[in-house]
Structure 1
């Protein structure tokens, strides 16, 4: 793959077909992307565009609600990342401000008698659903139908990734069985054109935490991927019906750094509101992540020791949210210092 090339748009349909040559070409193209920067877009998947459009309408309906109604399902009501997240809650890039986005976290419906909930597994619990939204039953039904469709697509993507490593497409079944994934409805307010770009990132420069991410964008751009060889930021233009796919840190770790989890960010310079729906596939919380086949030379030691999915992703969450909270506390102290009257000696 040549430098300064935006992530290519690949036809994923050969994965489902009988044309072995087309399938081999798809596998090779995805392998090249994984070796270069871990990003590509796919069309020809099995998620209906009508479902994509319906869930995007749900996303916009939710964020049009008054703040007090969104806060009724505040994510801080629980410890397993389900519910509404305020603007400026997360800070992924050190040296920037907390991020100019708000979100709604949704996952598999895990009741309180489920072993994952009882054992407090990664992001495992019941969803918080908005009750004041227009047609709440349709909102919940569409959201979960979409969640299940993209969950299935994520498993297919991992099947292709297995093929790029020279193992059977079912290699990752132990990772995907009982897997935890998190879907986020995201809203980026229109960013003032004269705003300080570094302090008003939609999402700061970061790499994703888990195994693989599938992102559905609306028509408004803003996503940028770092081209490491040149240091330039490449715009990832929205393609109707496509998913932006990227590897996360956990997959790069298992690949012994052979495959890339690349830095990306969102800066909404469009003057319009932007909506997107990332789907973060982590994996079975108890899956032990170790060096994958064919990802190191003979006699070469793995760069990383074994770690579970839960251990790796939980640590990354704590870091990014802790960074935002620390920033807010520091700013609070600064403002209080400025506002305090100076007491002069008599």
Structure 2
């Protein structure tokens, strides 16, 4: 496969009856998973109108005064819901805290739900900002989009199953009662002369879970590592498309056959950048052990079985802990810098 940004694939054939077209899609996805774990899809079932409403909500959220955002700070929970400040994470060693602010949303889990009682991965009630002009619209749109992404993630998993010569419904148990996280992100523009070795919108990292589905706005900044040529490739925003990538858990699950690849954001576009990733973790109690057809005859699995909870949970703690340590060492304060356009 040539060194190029992740290809844009027509996912609509998954919903059709053209078996040859479906087979081509499965092969294209398989090629991407073996190469760098990234591809893009159009022709999905998420309405453009819902995408636009969601991005409008994202922009409205981050335009609130800081004191309003702080009222629903994620540190008020222990289950990773709500607002996170600029510079809350370090995802790449040797860099400053990431130049982004975010907001976490998940399934609306009550405090008497077994997932909350048992302190399952990122499970609990959402925190909703109160200072918005139309709070009800924000909540309704956010949950409508969350549910639409749940459906699309399951469709992507159905294709992934077929890339491994498994039945389309192979991941059904994994996807039942699944934990997932919707994350609203805002990247202030970085100065064009900022040091890319230190200042990142988000540092080079791999994702934690099974699959990630990313909606970009019109501002560029996302880059994917190309191992064949040792370079960073820009992933230009395509209206309506989703950037899809595999996470560390899926790579482990496939015995390292499929790739969880490095990516980062450096926002030198001169614009505010907004993006909406959806992280599908899976049922927290599901046991991840080497998938069928992912090791040669007589070859041992590289990893022992583990649960989704164990595989994903530790990575969250590590990334936030790194930023906390950085600040405690009296490093440079993390603030948005004016941009010379």
Structure 1 and Structure 2 fold alike (TM over 0.5) = yes
Aligned equivalents of 1:266, 1:157: Cα separation in 2: 24
Please give the secondary structure, in 2, of the residue aligned with 1:143. Answer: helix
Residue in 2 aligned with 1:24? 23
Match of residue 207 from structure 1: 206
Could you tell me how far 1:331 is from its partner in structure 2? 2.6
User: Is the Cα–Cα contact under 8 Å of residues 112 and 118 in structure 1 kept in the other structure?
Assistant: yes
| Partner SS for 1:269 | coil
TM-score if structure 2 supplies the norm length?
A: 0.96
> Corresponding residue for 2:104?
105
Can you give the 5+ residue segments of structure 1 that lack an aligned partner in the other structure? 336-346
How much has 1:295 moved relative to structure 2? 0.3
Measured in 2, the distance between the counterparts of 1:42 and 1:331 equals: 43
Any idea what SS the aligned residue of 2:329 has?
helix
SS at match of 1:181: strand
Displaced runs of 4 or more, over 4 A: none
Task: Return the offset for 1:146.
Answer: 0.4
Map of 1:342 onto structure 2: none
Does the Cα contact within 8 Å between 1:253 and 1:304 map onto a contact in 2? yes
- The answer (yes or no) to whether the contact 1:210–1:282 under 8 Å persists in 2 is yes
Query: Number of paired residues?
Result: 333
Give the match for residue 15 of structure 1: 14
Deviation string 1:115-142 (CA, Å, 9 cap, x unpaired) is: 0000000000000001111100000000
2:158 maps to what in 1? 159
Quote how far apart the aligned CAs of 1:229 are.
Answer: 1.9
How big is each residue's C-alpha offset from its partner over 1:36-69, in whole Å with a ceiling of 9 and x where there is no partner?
0000000000000000000000000000000000
Tell me the distance in 2 between the aligned counterparts of 1:328 and 1:178. Answer: 37
Q: What is the deviation of 1:240? A: 0.5
Name 2:275's counterpart in structure 1: 276
* TM-score of the pair, normalised by structure 1: 0.95
| TM superposition shift of 1:182 | 0.3
Whether the 8 Å CA contact 1:97–1:198 is kept in 2: the answer is no
Give SS of 1:197's match.
coil
| 1:135-175 residue CA offsets vs partner (Å, 9 max, x unmatched) | 00000000000000011000000000000000101000111
Structure 2 unaligned runs (5+)? 334-341
Q: Tell me what 1:187 maps to.
A: 186
Partner of 2:143, secondary structure, is helix
1:230 equivalent in structure 2 = 229
Q: For the pair shown, which has the larger CA radius of gyration, 1 or 2?
A: 1
- Counterpart for residue 262 of structure 1: 261
- Write out per-residue CA displacement over residues 203-229 of structure 1, whole angstroms, 9 at most, x where no aligned residue: 000000000000000000100000012
Deviation at 1:199, TM superposition (A): 2.4
Please tell me whether residue 242 in structure 1 is matched to residue 249 in structure 2. Answer: no
Q: Distance in 1 between matches of 2:63 and 2:226?
A: 35
2:337 corresponds to which residue? Answer: none
